[in-house]
Amino acid sequence: MSAKLETIGIAKSYGETVALQPTDLTVQAGEFLTLLGPSGSGKTTLLQMISGLVAPSAGRIEIAGRDVTHVEPGKRGIGMVFQSYALFPHMSVWDNVAYGLRMRRQSREEVKRAVDDALTMVRMNDYAKRYPQELSGGQQQRIALARCFAYRPSVILLDEPLGALDKKLREHMQSEIRRLHKELGATFVYVTHDQDEALTLSDRICLMNQARIEQVGTPVDLYDRPATRFAAGFIGHSNLLEGAVDHERGPAGEPILLTAGGRVPLPQRGAAMPGSPGARHCLLLRPEAPRLVEPKSGFLDGTISDIVFFGSDTRVQLTLSDGSHLSVRCERGLSPCIGDTVGLVWDPHRTTLLSA
């Protein structure tokens, strides 16, 4: 694939406040890339500079090899979808979708064809004559998407477009956006702070923190192979075991991490490979990796302090001897009880070693 969008050293400051540190990012043609991170991480600032709504303090932006750093938003060939639907209340659905095309002075025939195609794409043909106040939140968001799609931009920017929807409707719209992305073949850059949304939608995720990029990779990369402690803690549920490399090896010659709760085996891969005895590390253990066994027969022992039922599985919280907590996902059929002492065992290759 060829690069569709690139930022080269793009940065933004407001006086002494740094909103985005110098950032290099490449988005491939037809890719769905999500900018993910907590509030204040710089993701919306980056999106607004790509769109042209905010001028960068440094660096440049290229779309299909063309420098658009100082090109006004309407001439960049991009579409934008906001969290607020920004629909005109006095216009019908059909006229809302047609508005941008009319501003581009397209012919009546071109406008009609494009609007009808866009409404068909979002499955809203039957609502063409209604007004925004007569629509549900999900229907209004579909119209906002149709208005953007109508003129077929090659790059589409979406700034938390589902943030105002309830959970069930948001999940439905995620499926719709995935379908529309495949149908359009356009390049999507999507901003969210919802990690589940990012994992569901993205080809790649750009995780941001403190006005910079923390890690870029596929959802599997960020979940299974986070590069930093922040990435490990932000993506998915995580257990982090801290300790020092033991001077003694395990029975199979594997390196061992000496934690406050006991000795646990380390994987032979990770962002930080085991160093000399005493070197401090952090082991990422996802809740689905360990399984419960009899006390004294696993790597660690703990006491069950809480049990939460999720339908498809049960989440058990264990308190270790040092007072720290671990979350373990159990399959249906197991019947643990609060107060039970259990052991934990796992495949070391399902863990990730990180710098302390």
Task: Tokens for 72, please give them.
Answer: 């006004």
Is 111 in the same domain as 63? yes
Q: 270 and 221: one domain?
A: no
150 and 259 inside one domain: no
**39 C-beta neighbours (distance < 10 Å), count:** 7
Domain co-membership, 59 together with 176: yes
Last residue of a domain, one of 191, 217, 233: 233
Identify whether residues 307 and 195 lie together within a single domain. no
pLDDT at 51: 95
Residue 211 shares a structural domain with residue 244: no
Domain span at 56 = 3-233
CATH of the domain at 249: 2.40.50.140
The count of structural domains within the chain is 2
| pLDDT above 90 (res 302) | yes
The residue written with tokens 């709504």 in the block is 53
Write down the pLDDT at residue 86: 81
Residues 19-69 have pLDDT tens digits of 999 999 999 999 999 999 999 999 999 999 999 999 999 999 999 999 999
Question: Which of residues 233, 262, 297 is at a domain's end?
Answer: 233
Is the confidence at residue 271, as pLDDT, over 60? no
Q: What CATH number is given to the structural domain containing 47?
A: 3.40.50.300
Average pLDDT, the chain: 90
Query: What does the radius of gyration of the chain's CA atoms come to, in whole angstroms?
Result: 25
Residues 62 and 15 in one domain: yes
- Look at residue 320 and tell me whether its pLDDT is greater than 60: yes
If asked whether residues 40 and 66 sit together in one domain, one would say yes
223, 243: one domain = no
Q: Which of 179, 204, 233 is the last residue before a domain boundary?
A: 233
Same domain, 105 and 167: yes
Positive or negative, the CA dihedral 332, 338, 342, 348 is: positive
| Cα(1)–Cα(182) distance, integer angstroms | 15
Q: Inform me whether the pLDDT recorded for 211 exceeds 90.
A: yes
My answer on whether 223 and 244 are in the same domain is no
Backbone angles phi, psi at 153, to 5 degrees: -70, 150
Separation CA 293–CA 290 (nearest Å): 9
Residue 274: the pLDDT is 63
By 3-state DSSP, what share of the chain in percent is helix, strand and coil, each rounded to 5? 25, 35, 40
155 pLDDT above the threshold of 80: yes
Name the residue with higher pLDDT: 251 or 303.
303
Q: Is pLDDT above 60 for 272?
A: no
Q: Are residues 132 and 188 in the same domain?
A: yes
pLDDT in tens, 98-131: 988 888 888 889 999 999 998 998 889 899 999 9
Mean pLDDT, rounded, for 270-291 = 78
Higher-scoring residue by pLDDT: 333, 260: 260
| The predicted structure's pLDDT at residue 231 | 94
**288, pLDDT greater than 70:** yes
